[in-house]
A and B are shown apart, each in its own frame.
Chain A
């Protein structure tokens, strides 16, 4: 037995020097053995109530005010009080410094686990994964949120809470369609954004002259009818970022409304990578904490008892119920991600013939961490599964693919299972479940009837016969019409360009506060 003097802590109690020691020990392992590259860490100790607070504003420490966050809070609180849900072990924010929250009730072992998991695992992933590098600005996010909060509060003061709430409601409804999916524009720099907004307002105030309002508008300018093509190019159509389109082109929005759309859009964009990397992100963090905890135990810094406590919660986290288990609710990203990371480790260190055939580049290369770091940096869930889900893991998880065609009366067909014929198909289908291109409905702004009634035309390309839920679609389109201020229509077309359904909505009473 190693001397107890080496231990980071005894029993369950901890204090701030203990946290510091834990962090330093993890840091040592993370850098020297795992070769992780992380943002500076900031660890915040908070109470259970505060973690509920954090939940309700999508985990961010500061956020603008909106009733929907209050609703989420009330919901979370109720189910927490009833004991339906436990609290998350960790909340971690993709920012620099990387902020992770520790709950004060946790034992020392749990704090170690959370520090290893969040402050090193997630942190490394945030800093290195290409999606995060491309789409998020870790240095600027906290300042930007601060600005957003202040800006929204200011708008409420100037334009009334009601109007701001309507605008935010509408923007939230379209949030999932306020994302640029393809890079092309330069990376977001949120600090510059913030300055830009302030400058623009200043400029408007300095050039404001009420006289302009009284200048009579002349007869309409030349009626040259734009060709359809030209018009669409001018408006940048088709455009799938609906919020962006509205911000730039909606005819009757107030400047502050455009700014609010922009804020919501930026925040949606900030979270975009997270939705695409759930499996990888959690897999990375879980793998990292697993390695670090094991190493700490080997070094005698954690007692056997504490290590067992860790193993117990670790096992709970990576538990994957089978499909026929009442607890089943889809794949557990922790379980799948962790299993795949371990599997890659196995392929790299002790491959069998099958692995050599399937993963020629990495099989037996021996450099586990090198391979994993490359994987973590360059893939998202969909491509990660497509590349690295091994036949052996498919066999272990006993994966199978179901094809449910409503037209088929006999039932649901088992399309592929974990056998020689099915590996590739199962893998492709699983990857597709994580492909945002398939998850979100494909809706684009295709045209605006500029010469006529200014109707905005959207188009939903129906994939595999899944149409929009009618009630929700109408509500969202109502919000859209209110922002656009004129009629909005949405057509649903299938691959053969037949129109399946058409919605037309007119702006309601609130309109764009003229």
Chain B
């Protein structure tokens, strides 16, 4: 009896992947809503972890002709005490017993698990980076190398032997280089005993001539040599640098820093999806600014007054020394509680409009407040007032106030909403 045992375990799995994508595409609006809802009460670290979402079945069900109601007859097992003619009270309405359990139709919500990528895609789907025009060929970046024909120069390791030999052969044939076998034949004839002197001398002369010719025409000449040529293909790499500016003076509480952190992380994830290289520069400031690492940025203790211009100055210096605006897309997000020494306003405004904004793709100012819900009647802080004025004058600034964790996502969405939907109007 013939039997085949086939090991299919190594076959590519995820046969259903395409069907799954079709399903997600079809349910996109629903799933997106669910994703946003579920991301609101998540920690930022988990926001990208994927996970279970549930969508209403409406619109995703597959209708069939189904009957319902009418008189029903059922045969069931496990009769304990009934006899013919008994009347049983109707159970409280439990929905149709007709449909089997586990069927999609009997559920009013449909739960399933999204992978990390699917989640991020859906989460950031309707967002868009402002002004992506500045794409720059990065000199250093080359995306692998590929063969590109043959060259007459190169490193010995790259000699193409077959090419070289075939060229040498062609040259030898063209120049009629005597074959070693022909010479050997003549030599053998000369060496033979029955050869007379005259003939021998003649042969020797001929052999000499051939040998001389063979020496003149080398077996392989340097001009035969060919090298395999490789070319590095530079690919355009859009690179971005993200400046995180934060006020760490005493008035900034942990809560406020946390809010800022969330915003930065979202921005990072978002940039990361669009650019291959994203660098982050952390600049914290009190009354003087310093570039620090992430750990210090969020958790290092600091105290002092508040001088926003110092941070902007630092950012400007860093841009000048490390990130040529021609090569980098520059994003900046500043978080502060809005305090600033009033004498600093003029300097700050000038720095911003003259130095920073012209080279930035995007500059967002996030004013963080205490958890208390006085967002709406919070008096405008000095920084807010300043930036508002600058914006009124036409500076491309985005600014938002945030005081609750749950507001971060909406604000973020708001800032990066696809342009088509909301004309550049209020950023």
Chain A residues engaging chain B, CB cutoff 8 angstroms: 16, 19-20, 23-24, 27, 31, 40-47, 49-50, 52-53, 56-57, 65-75, 77-79, 81, 85, 97, 101, 104, 165, 169, 172-173, 175-177, 320-325, 328-331, 397-407, 410-419, 421-422, 426, 429-430, 432-433, 440-441, 443, 460, 462-469, 471-473, 475-476, 479
Contact = CB atoms under 8 A, between A and B. Distances in A.
B9 A46 contact: yes
Nearest to A176: B64
A426 B77 CA distance: 11
Contact of A476 (B1, B7, B64, B87): B64
Interface string B14-32: 1110111111111100000
Given A23-B5, A402-B73, 7 more contacts: A40-B2, A45-B5, A50-B11, A176-B65, A400-B79, A411-B87, A465-B71
Nearest to B104: A75
Given A70-B24, A399-B76, A466-B67, A414 B82 contact: yes
B193 interface: no
B110 interface: yes
8 contacts: A50-B8, A75-B111, A81-B113, A104-B9, A322-B78, A426-B75, A467-B67, A467-B70
Contacts of A324: 78, 80
B63 A476 contact: yes
Contact of B84 (A330, A411, A422, A430): A422
B52 interface: yes
Given A50-B11, A476-B63, A402 B23 contact: no
A406 B70 contact: yes
Given A50-B8, A56-B19, A465-B71, A402 B25 contact: no
A49 B14 contact: yes
Contacts of A463: 70
Interface string B68-98: 1111111111111011111111100000010
Interface string B108-141: 0011110000000000000000000000000000
A401 B74 contact: yes
B426 interface: no
B84 A85 contact: no
B255 to A, nearest CB: 35
Nearest to B76: A323
Nearest to B75: A430
Contact of A410 (B4, B87, B100): B87
Contacts, number: 263
Contact of B112 (A74, A401, A462, A472): A74
A179 B23 CA distance: 27
Interface string B383-406: 000000000000000000000000
B156 interface: no
Contact of A403 (B8, B11, B73, B82): B73
B84 A42 contact: no
Given A41-B4, A73-B19, A472 B65 contact: yes
B146 to A, nearest CB: 31
A419 B83 CA distance: 9
B101 interface: yes
A321 B76 CA distance: 10
Taking each of A101, A169, A400, A443, which has the highest tally of chain B beta carbons within 10 Å of its own beta carbon?
A400
B14 A72 contact: no
Interface of A is mostly: mixed
Contact of B79 (A42, A79, A399): A399
A43 B4 contact: yes
Contact of B102 (A85, A331, A432): A85
Interface in B10-56: 11, 13-16, 18-27, 52
Contacts of A73: 16, 19-20, 23
Contacts of A49: 13-14
A415 to B, nearest CB: 7
A466 B25 contact: no
Given A322-B78, A398-B77, A43 B71 contact: no
B425 interface: no
B175 interface: no
Contacts of A78: 52, 111-113
A45 B6 contact: yes
Contacts of A399: 75-77, 79
A27 B3 CA distance: 10
B9 A45 contact: yes
A20 B68 contact: no
Given A421-B84, A472-B65, A44 B100 contact: no
Given A40-B2, A53-B15, A414-B85, A66 B22 contact: yes
Contact of A467 (B2, B60, B69): B69
Nearest to B68: A469
A433 B77 CA distance: 14
Contact of B65 (A177, A404, A433): A177
Given A43-B3, A411-B87, A468 B66 contact: yes
Interface residues of B, number: 63
Contacts of A413: 85-88
A469 B67 contact: yes
B65 A40 contact: no
B181 interface: no
A52 B16 contact: yes
B20 A70 contact: yes
B62 interface: yes
B65 A16 contact: no
Contacts of B11: 46, 50
B71 A330 contact: no
B70 A398 contact: no
A432 B111 CA distance: 35
A358 B333 CA distance: 87
Contacts of A44: 5-8
Across the A-B interface, give the 10 residue pairs with the lowest CB-CB distance, nearest first: A322-B78, A466-B70, A70-B23, A465-B70, A70-B19, A475-B63, A74-B112, A323-B76, A67-B22, A400-B79
B113 A42 contact: no
A65 B18 contact: yes
A168 B104 CA distance: 19
Contacts of B102: 79, 85
A321 to B, nearest CB: 8
B114 to A, nearest CB: 9
A77 B52 CA distance: 11
A325 B76 CA distance: 11
B68 A323 contact: no
A334 B110 CA distance: 29
A5 to B, nearest CB: 23
Contacts of A74: 20, 23, 110, 112-113
Interface string B277-296: 00000000000000000000
Given A53-B15, A413-B87, A42 B100 contact: no
Contacts of B1: 24, 27, 31, 40-41
A398 B78 contact: yes
A422 B79 CA distance: 13
Nearest to A30: B1
A31 B1 CA distance: 10
Contacts of A467: 67-70
B118 to A, nearest CB: 10
Contacts of A322: 76-78, 80
B26 A403 contact: no
Contact of B73 (A68, A169, A429): A429
Taking each of A74, A101, A416, A463, which has the highest tally of chain B beta carbons within 10 Å of its own beta carbon?
A74
Given A56-B16, A429-B73, A50 B90 contact: no
Given A67-B23, A73-B19, A78-B52, A411 B90 contact: yes
B38 to A, nearest CB: 14
A49 B62 CA distance: 25
B63 to A, nearest CB: 4
Contact of B69 (A24, A47, A406): A406
Nearest to A43: B5
